[in-house]
Structures are given as C-alpha cells and as structure tokens.
A = this chain, B = another copy of it.
C-alpha cells in the first residue's frame, strides 16, 4: 500500500490542536493542492477564505455550535461555492449567465467543485502530519458568516475546515460495509440484505462508541442517523441560497 493510500485510509477528524499557526509554506501547499483538483468545465467555481482574525474565528466558533477548535487551531478556512468572478468574466464578454448560475445544475457544479478542492486540501494537510476537521456547523447561520466574511452575491459559504498540529489521537471510526455502499451495474435494492448489513454495522458502531477512549457513548449507526435526520435543521437555507443567487428552482 503506497504512502498516499496510507494517508487517505489513516484519516480521522481531529478536534484539539496545539497552539501553533501553520507556516506560510504549509498553507500555500494546502491551497495549491485544493486548486489542483478537477473542476467542472474548467469553471473553478469556488473560493477559499482563510480566517486569521481572532475575533472572527471566535464568533464563527460560537455560531458553529460552540466548537472551540474552530477558534483554536493552526489554520481555519471557509470553502465557498463561487460564481462571482464568472459574473465579471461574463461582463467582459457581454454575456448573461444568470440562468445557468441560478439553476440546480449550476449549484451542483459549484458545490461539487468546492468539495473536490476541499478534499484535496484535507489530504494534503494530513500528508504533512497535520489534523483536519470539516466544520458543517457553519451552516447554522450563514447569514452572519456571510456578513462577517463580506461575501457578495453568488458566493455561498458551504463549510469550514480547521487544520493544525494534533493534540489528540484517537481511534478510527469504522465505515459502512463496502457492500452497502458499493453496487455493481444496478443499485442493489434488496432490503433484507441491507437490513442484515445494517444490523451487523450497528453492532460494530455500538462497540466502537462504547469502547473508544474519549466521549464514549451508547448508540448504533441506524439510530444515530434516524435521529439526526428526524430533526430537520437549517431550513432557512432553502430561502437563503436563493437570496444569494443560487437554486432559484425555476425550470
């Protein structure tokens, strides 16, 4: 198994960091890695906002659900879907692009582009011995995040990423069995075999949560997933994405 695959398979989210900023060289390599990712139609429809201002970091940490590692880390960046610079490009060529940008297809393009870039950044950081954690909690209140970061129309912060020198080490969280996630030629809709796979996986996860060294708890994967999704949250995003120039829902 090569070094790259070892890095990828060794991933675990890190939520406690040494109080030490990344070097300029480290952040440069992380951003270059992000930019090297594939991008739909070469649009590069994302931006990365590094947040170094202490009070901004603290405010976002609070918004994201009092996650103090959002404030205390070596580097914190916000990844945004971004069609703003394409508006400038379009204006240089007298083109009207609002219909494409506001469509579901446009939203998919920008969200996928942003996520591919972010995952490259994550792997690059981990390859340097740094730890990372995605911060979806940013979406608790994108209105305030957008105003703090002064993002214009056609820019939508999607998630943050904290990076730093790990001050904790813990076990890896087992993933769903490969047969649950991977299908061949047709989607396997056999609900009995799915239930069996989930039952075994529930035991694996119950054991993992019970025996892990920190924040141990007693819950299965299916009950956790069902409970997480039974509380629909961030419903304001349906209107907010529209307000920011995405997903107008018109055909």
Q: Interface on A for B, CB 8 Å cutoff?
A: 1-5, 7-11, 13, 28-29, 31-38, 40-44, 46-53, 56, 80, 83-86, 88-90, 92-93, 95-97, 99-101, 103-106, 108-109, 111-112, 115-116, 118-120, 122-124, 126-128, 132-134, 136, 139, 149-152, 155, 158-159, 173, 175-176, 178, 180-187, 189, 191, 194-195, 198, 221-239, 241, 247, 249-251
Contact = CB atoms under 8 A, between A and B. Distances in A.
A21 B120 CA distance: 26
What does DSSP make chain A's interface, helix, strand, loop or mixed? Answer: helix
A131 to B, nearest CB: 12
Contacts of A186: 49, 149-150
A8 B28 CA distance: 14
Given A124-B5, A230-B100, A184 B49 contact: yes
A183 B13 contact: no
A238 B230 contact: no
B5 A29 contact: yes
A105 B235 contact: yes
B233 A105 contact: yes
Q: Which 10 A-B pairs have the closest CB atoms?
A: A4-B127, A115-B115, A97-B229, A89-B222, A119-B119, A99-B232, A100-B232, A105-B234, A95-B230, A93-B226
A145 B133 CA distance: 34
Contact of A111 (B32, B115, B236, B241): B115
Residue of A9, A34, A136, A225 ringed by the most chain B CB atoms within 10 A:
A225
Contacts of A4: 3-4, 7, 123-124, 126-127
A139 B93 CA distance: 27
B9 A36 contact: yes
Contacts of A97: 226, 229-230
